[in-house]
Amino acid sequence: MMENNKISVGLDIGTTKIVAMIGRKNEYGKAEILGIGKSKSLGVHRGVVNNITQTIQSIQQAVQEAEAESGLKIEDVTVGIAGQHIRSLQHSDYITRANSELVIDEEDIDRLINQVHKLVMLPGEEIIHVLPQEYKVDGQAEIKEPIGMYGGRLEANFHVVVGQVSSIRNIGRCVKSSGLELEGITLEPLASANAVLSQEEKEAGVALIDIGGGTTDLAVFKDGIIRHTAVIPFGGNVITEDIKEGCSIIEKQAELLKIKFGSAWPGENKDNEIVSIPGLRGREPKEITLKNLSKIIHARVTEIVEQVYVEIKNYGHEEQKKKLIAGIVLTGGGAQLKHLKQLVEYITGMDTRIGYPNEHLAGDSDEEVASPLFATAVGLVMDGLKRQERRRIEKAAEEEIQNEIDSTPETTIEEEETVAPPKKERRSFLDKLTERVKDFLDNAE
């Protein structure tokens, strides 16, 4: 049995499926997936929990499956949030420093970030992420890292992501009632991006489009920093709905048709290609031409892609300085639709590739894990591993200070690469949010 503090569990609560994934870092620093469990998601609509009991059952089923496959017990999970209630905005803020003789340090930046948290939101909304874009010190612009500089006025542009408190708490509730501890909360587009994008792409400028069952998430990166996020309340399920309505068949058949024969590009199908679908109980079978099928899919996918493209333009992709050189990366279950890449390139005029979450996976990972379906789950596992790493570093730093106080001449602790006191990483607001959700749940019992 391996140490449990070395493993991390991602829990992707999606509209169509719930995935529990267990992973750890191997000796090369890559994520090695030890077990996956997935179950049909029944209580989630467009990324938002709408039936707590059903969601708890689905979570437990996925968790049991992952435990059975890995032989490990799952206690803490890192959960993703998405859903149609997520929106993002740009905001600038500044602080005036009391003493400009001292250099800018972590605390100044924390003060600035905390000030952004006092922004007044719509009722029921809460800030999930505050992501600094770039800083200005005494009016000097385009500063990436102000720590260590002199200056009296520190300002920054922030990318602020907001969501509904109740939705976030409901997710927390489901996790807790499933007998699990909430280790962290992450925005799903960010998790997916971490799993499928390379650092070069984030530098060059790239839009990640994660087409899920209930929602399509967008994350835009440029110069290595996240610049824009959006959640569009349509995904693969509306395509299935359209096929069901358009062909008068049941949902299960529509879903199968979409997966097996669906294409986003009608020109690809000959006029005489026909699928025969068994009729319901003693009725005649139905004949559906693949051309019609792909026309239905094409219409809906075009609509989704156009909405995403509007968001990419909102970010400012058309300005020379903000151009996304690496184009678009598609991931999520919806990315498996045939000829989708061609359609996206046609609509947006941007280079497109399908994103597989193997960017940080160990070389011998299962085929299954590297499917776009699991991008978010892999990203959540990685996020959990990062969080643990941070905690270990903080703990080591604390212990080291303690040891220095005890002033024993032992130098063993020095050998672990923590000779320089590690820079205390800024606690991301999500850690604080996680704690607030935890507190809320503990007090609500």
Helix axes 290-315, 251-261, angle to 10 degrees: 80
In a 3-state reduction of DSSP, which class is residue 351? Answer: coil
Give the integer Cα–Cα distance in Å for 245 and 62. 31
pLDDT computed for residue 416 by the predictor: 43
- Cβ(19)–Cβ(396) under 8 Å? no
- pTM, full prediction: 0.87
What would the pLDDT profile of 252-266 be if each residue is shown by its tens digit? 999 999 999 999 998
Query: Which of the two residues, 268 and 51, has the higher pLDDT score?
Result: 51
What would the pLDDT profile of 49-78 be if each residue is shown by its tens digit? 999 999 999 999 999 999 999 999 999 999
Mean pLDDT of the chain: 89
**Secondary-structure class of domain 236-300 per CATH:** alpha beta
Q: What is the mean predicted confidence (pLDDT) over 4-19?
A: 89
Query: Which of the two residues, 250 and 441, has the higher pLDDT score?
Result: 250
What would the pLDDT profile of 171-223 be if each residue is shown by its tens digit? 999 999 999 999 989 899 999 999 999 999 999 999 999 999 999 999 999 99
Position 21 pLDDT exceeds 60: yes
Query: Which of the two residues, 170 and 270, has the higher pLDDT score?
Result: 170
- What are the phi and psi torsion angles at 264 (to 5°)? -90, 5
Cα 41–chain centre separation: 18
For residue 437, give every residue at least 6 positions away whose Cβ sits within 8 Å of its Cβ, in sequence order, or none: 168, 169, 172, 182, 185
Using alpha carbons, select from 307, 312, 248, 310 the residue that is nearest to residue 283.
248
For every residue of 119-152, DSSP letters joined together read PPPSTTEEEEEEEEEEEEETTEEEES--TT---S
pLDDT computed for residue 328 by the predictor: 97
Give the integer Cα–Cα distance in Å for 75 and 102. 44
pLDDT computed for residue 364 by the predictor: 79
Q: What is the mean predicted confidence (pLDDT) over 399-414?
A: 69
pLDDT-derived band of residue 403, with 50, 70 and 90 as boundaries? confident
